[in-house]
């Protein structure tokens, strides 16, 4: 199995280590739940080794090499491993493209609430400003599968998109200028603009700002503990493709939500059918679902962000893992899933 995170290609062109305020000049705040999901600190010794490219490696070495600043593992609601370097439990880490999984979740809830008729509808049915763009006639499903057909190169266009957002340009207007490059639904092409359009879709169909909808339908119902911020373009549009700033424990709660089939504290926050669909391979990429990266036969899946940000979920082992980096590192997604599987297996093995 080969997993490629296309967004990591922008690492050569984007300055990863700018202050948070410079990465997203304006942000919106999401308030937490008054009754957060309790995560019990129950640390235990985990001896994790794995084989990658014919070499035996350790978890400690992997975390060091990939400049990891935050790492935790959940066994259900028990925090069995947690460590920070140059950060702490209250640090708000930049999600980068892990935000895409939140955006897809918001789309799924909007669908359930009938704000959206079907994900097979054309996106310009709801966003008429896209009728003269490359998005005309493109289904919401194709956007979710990263198969929109617009002429886009993530390595060069994503940095320009980020720079435009930082300078206060309207990303919605930029979306309306996108051109068709190939037949929608015919192949996979990782495209951050697709995720922005989906976030804009949430805003337009629900009549609520994207961040407000996420707060009311995901952040609070999933019982998050801390405030989080979401970057916007200063024109009222949340970016949707990046720029959630949240604690690792709250990122872990999002993973826990998906581990539990969309439920938090017994309440169905995300439709179970959407969780299932999101983690099912698409026809254009067996390792990608609806804005989630898939592990293959093991049934595990991940939200992945530039520079080494992960929310990993193993339904088989009942484990959630979060890894965050401030400084970022080289591409490590293929090794990461091997390491995470080893951690999940060790958590299961040491379960009392």
Tell whether 345 is covered by a domain: yes
Per-residue pLDDT of the chain (352 residues; tens, 9 = 90+): 334 444 444 443 343 333 343 444 599 999 999 999 999 999 999 999 999 999 999 999 999 999 999 999 999 999 999 999 999 999 999 999 999 999 999 999 999 999 999 999 999 999 999 999 999 999 999 999 999 999 999 999 999 999 999 999 999 999 999 999 999 999 999 999 999 999 999 999 999 999 999 999 999 999 999 999 999 999 999 999 999 999 999 999 999 999 999 999 999 999 999 999 999 999 999 999 999 999 988 899 999 999 999 999 999 999 999 999 997 766 689 999 999 999 999 999 999 8
Residue 14: C-alpha distances to residues 86, 161, 189, 242 (Å): 22, 11, 19, 13
State the DSSP string of 38-91: P-EE-------EEEETTEEEEHHHHHHHTT-SEEEEEETTEEEEEEESS--TT-
Q: Please report the pLDDT score of residue 332 as a whole number.
A: 83
List the one residue out of 296, 209, 306 whose CA is nearest residue 15: 306
How far, CA to CA in Å, does 197 sit from each of 81, 169, 192? 37, 15, 9
Structural domain of residue 341, as residue ranges? Answer: 6-349
Within a domain: 1:
no
* pLDDT (0 to 100) of residue 331: 62
Considering the domain boundaries, does residue 190 fall inside one?
yes
Map tokens 């995720």 to a residue. Answer: 195
For the purposes of burial, counting CB atoms within 10 Å of the CB of 297, is it exposed (0-12), middle (13-18) or buried (19 or more)?
exposed
Residue pair 290/278 in contact by the 8 Å Cβ criterion: yes
Rounded CA gap, 98 and 79, in Å? 21
Domain with residue 292: its CATH number is 3.40.710.10
Position 245 scores a pLDDT of 98
Instruction: Say if 329 falls within a structural domain.
Output: yes
Number of folded domains in the chain? 1
CB-based burial label for 10 (10 Å; 0-12, 13-18, 19+): buried
Q: Is the distance from CB of 82 to CB of 75 less than 8 angstroms?
A: no
């Amino acid at each position: 199995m080969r997993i490629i995170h296309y967004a990591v290609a922008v690492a050569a062109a984007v300055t990863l280590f700018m202050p948070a305020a410079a990465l997203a000049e304006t942000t919106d705040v999401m308030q937490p739940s008054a009754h957060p999901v309790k995560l019990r600190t129950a640390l235990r010794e985990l001896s994790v080794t794995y084989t990658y490219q014919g070499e035996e490696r350790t978890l400690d070495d992997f975390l060091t090499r990939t400049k990891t600043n935050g790492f935790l593992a959940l066994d259900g609601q028990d925090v069995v491993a947690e460590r920070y370097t140059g950060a702490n439990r209250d640090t708000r880490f930049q999600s980068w493209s892990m935000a895409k999984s939140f955006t897809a979740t918001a789309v799924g809830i909007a669908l359930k609430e009938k704000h959206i008729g079907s994900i097979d509808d054309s996106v310009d049915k709801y966003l008429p400003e896209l009728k003269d763009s490359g998005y005309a006639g493109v289904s919401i499903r194709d956007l979710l599968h990263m198969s929109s057909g617009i002429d886009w190169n993530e390595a060069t266009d994503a940095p320009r998109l980020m720079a435009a957002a930082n300078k206060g340009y309207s990303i919605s207007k930029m979306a309306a200028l996108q051109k068709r490059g190939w037949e929608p639904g015919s192949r996979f092409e990782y495209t951050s603009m697709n995720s922005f359009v989906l976030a804009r879709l949430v805003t337009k169909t629900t009549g609520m700002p994207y961040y407000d909808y996420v707060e009311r339908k995901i952040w609070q119902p999933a019982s998050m503990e801390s405030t989080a911020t979401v970057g916007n373009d200063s024109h009222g549009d949340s970016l949707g493709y990046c720029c959630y700033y949240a604690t690792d424990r709250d990122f872990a709660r999002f993973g826990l939500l998906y581990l539990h089939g969309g439920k938090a504290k017994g309440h169905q926050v995300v439709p179970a059918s959407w969780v299932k669909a999101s983690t099912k391979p698409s026809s254009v990429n067996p390792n990608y679902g609806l804005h989630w990266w898939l592990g293959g036969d093991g049934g595990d899946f991940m939200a992945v962000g530039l520079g080494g940000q992960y929310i990993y979920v193993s339904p088989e082992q009942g484990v959630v893992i979060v890894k965050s980096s401030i400084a970022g590192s080289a591409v490590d997604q293929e090794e990461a899933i091997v390491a995470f599987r080893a951690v999940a297996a060790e958590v299961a093995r040491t379960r009392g």
